[in-house]
Amino acid sequence: MLAKSDDRPRPTGSGKASRKGPSLWMMAPAMAFFAFFGLVPLVGTFILSFCDWNGLGSPTFSGLDNWTSVLQQSSMYHALWLTILMCLATFVVQFPLSLLLGVFMAGRQRYRAVLAVLYFLPLLFSATAIGIAFKNLLDPNFGLSSALHLDILQQDWLGSPTLAFWVVIAVVSWCFIPFHSLLYQAGARQIPQSLYEAAQLDGAGRVRCFFSITLPQLKYTIVTSTTLMIVGTLTAFDLIYVMTNGGPGDATRILPVDMYLQGFKSNDMGVASVIAVILIVLGLSFSLVLNRLSGSDRMESQMEGM
């Protein structure tokens, strides 16, 4: 999706009078909204990162102060490391599961329809609802651990710094796998059945078909889904804030949480803006890398989709 839309609009046919298309003014409202609340704040983030501002009153210029203080804090590197680790870990968990589930659901299994109805449910809940539900479910005294008397479940899931990080990854994946398997399901349904028939005639088994047909054909969906997965994790503020508030200690304090706490709890908007800039750079680099990886055969994959 992302790669495809980067392509130029199709030429508008051979009409005579219609050469120019509709007035640019029709684009103005969307552009104005996006510029005012998207682009201006984007620039504003950079500017505010050089200012002192407590959220009240007006910002005052303070030069590189915020930057030097943030870059000297070990907590920032910790948050940055956690963020990257969380992006990678949620990807490693979500990618194979949503791919396999999506491909499975694109098939003709008997209970597929029922499964699809239920799989979709986590998509409907707000991150707040999911966060609160899991927080209670994982409560060491009244949650899951007291329901099933298994030693391995007797843990203070969100209270232990090492466990909490992985629990958060599991819950983030729980939230987003349904959406991504939906993408893969849609992608897999568009693969021409004739490819599989030909492969079967050649004696290819299911695994062979998966790696030689399904996976390459889904290349394009993989890029879309991976981009959304990573940006999703980069902005997974609500879920983490509700479940752990960045804790215990700073075990789950990834950059978006750090940004919120520094800005709106410690009233240091300058420092929050520095973190925001780092977050923006991180997001841009991820998507540039992804685009580079997929860029070479962009046109080809576009034609396949037609």
Partner 1 sequence: MARAAAARQRPNALGGALGFVWLILTIGPIYYVVVTSLKSQADYYSSNPLGIPSNPTLRAYRTVLQNDFLRYFFNSLLVAVVTVVVVVAISLMASYVIVRRSSAIARLSQRVFLLGIAIPIQATIVPVYYLIVQLGLYDTLPALMLPGIAFAIPITVLILVNYLRDIPAELYDSMHADGASDWRIFLSLVLPLSKPAITTVAIYDALNCWNGFLFPLILTQSENVRTLPLSLWSYQGEFNSDIPAVLAAIVLSCLPILAAYIVGRRQLVAGLTAGFGK
* Binding status of residue 146 toward partner 1 by CB under 8 A: yes
d(CA 266, CA 172) in angstroms, rounded, equals: 26
**Stretch of 65-73, 153-161, 220-228, 246-254 lying at the interface with partner 1 (CB under 8 A):** 220-228
The correct pick among 64, 68, 88, 206 for binding partner 1 (CB under 8 A) is 206
**Stretch of 67-75, 156-164, 182-190, 245-253 lying at the interface with partner 1 (CB under 8 A):** 182-190
* Binding status of residue 203 toward partner 1 by CB under 8 A: no
Asked if residue 211 lies in contact with residue 128, where contact means CB atoms within 8 angstroms, the answer is no
Q: Which residues, 47 to 66, sit near partner 1 by CB under 8 A?
A: 47-48, 53, 55, 59
Our CB check for partner 1 shows the closer of 295 and 305 to be 305
* Binding status of residue 178 toward partner 1 by CB under 8 A: yes
**Stretch of 73-81, 155-163, 178-186, 243-251 lying at the interface with partner 1 (CB under 8 A):** 178-186
Our CB check for partner 1 shows the closer of 92 and 186 to be 186
* Binding status of residue 123 toward partner 1 by CB under 8 A: yes
* Binding status of residue 41 toward partner 1 by CB under 8 A: yes
Our CB check for partner 1 shows the closer of 164 and 236 to be 236
Q: Which residues 6+ apart lie within 8 Å of 42 measured at CB?
A: 280
The correct pick among 93, 105, 172, 240 for binding partner 1 (CB under 8 A) is 105
* Binding status of residue 92 toward partner 1 by CB under 8 A: no
User: How many Cβ atoms are within 10 Å of 295's Cβ, its own excluded?
Assistant: 13
The correct pick among 90, 93, 95, 119 for binding partner 1 (CB under 8 A) is 119
**Stretch of 60-68, 69-77, 125-133, 153-161 lying at the interface with partner 1 (CB under 8 A):** 125-133
CA 19 to chain centre: 39
The correct pick among 50, 67, 91, 104 for binding partner 1 (CB under 8 A) is 104
The 232-261 site mask, x for binding partner 1 (CB under 8 A), equals: --xx-xx--xx-------------x--xx-
Q: Given CA atoms 110, 207, 221, 174 in this order, what sign does their dihedral have?
A: positive
CB 32 to partner 1: min, Å: 9
Asked if residue 82 lies in contact with residue 282, where contact means CB atoms within 8 angstroms, the answer is no
Please return the burial class of 274, using the count of CB atoms within 10 Å of its CB with bins 0-12, 13-18 and 19+.
buried
Go through the chain and tell me how many residues it has.
306
* Binding status of residue 189 toward partner 1 by CB under 8 A: yes
Please return the burial class of 63, using the count of CB atoms within 10 Å of its CB with bins 0-12, 13-18 and 19+.
exposed
Instruction: Give 113's Cβ-side CA count (13 Å radius).
Output: 1
Q: Which residues face 61 on adjacent strands?
A: 51
d(CA 223, CA 295) in angstroms, rounded, equals: 10
The correct pick among 62, 64, 140, 197 for binding partner 1 (CB under 8 A) is 197
d(CA 33, CA 22) in angstroms, rounded, equals: 20
Asked if residue 273 lies in contact with residue 55, where contact means CB atoms within 8 angstroms, the answer is no
* Binding status of residue 267 toward partner 1 by CB under 8 A: no
d(CA 58, CA 235) in angstroms, rounded, equals: 27
The 12-31 site mask, x for binding partner 1 (CB under 8 A), equals: xxxxxxx-xxxxx-xx-xxx
d(CA 296, CA 80) in angstroms, rounded, equals: 30
The correct pick among 88, 92, 100, 293 for binding partner 1 (CB under 8 A) is 100
Q: How does DSSP classify residue 137?
A: H
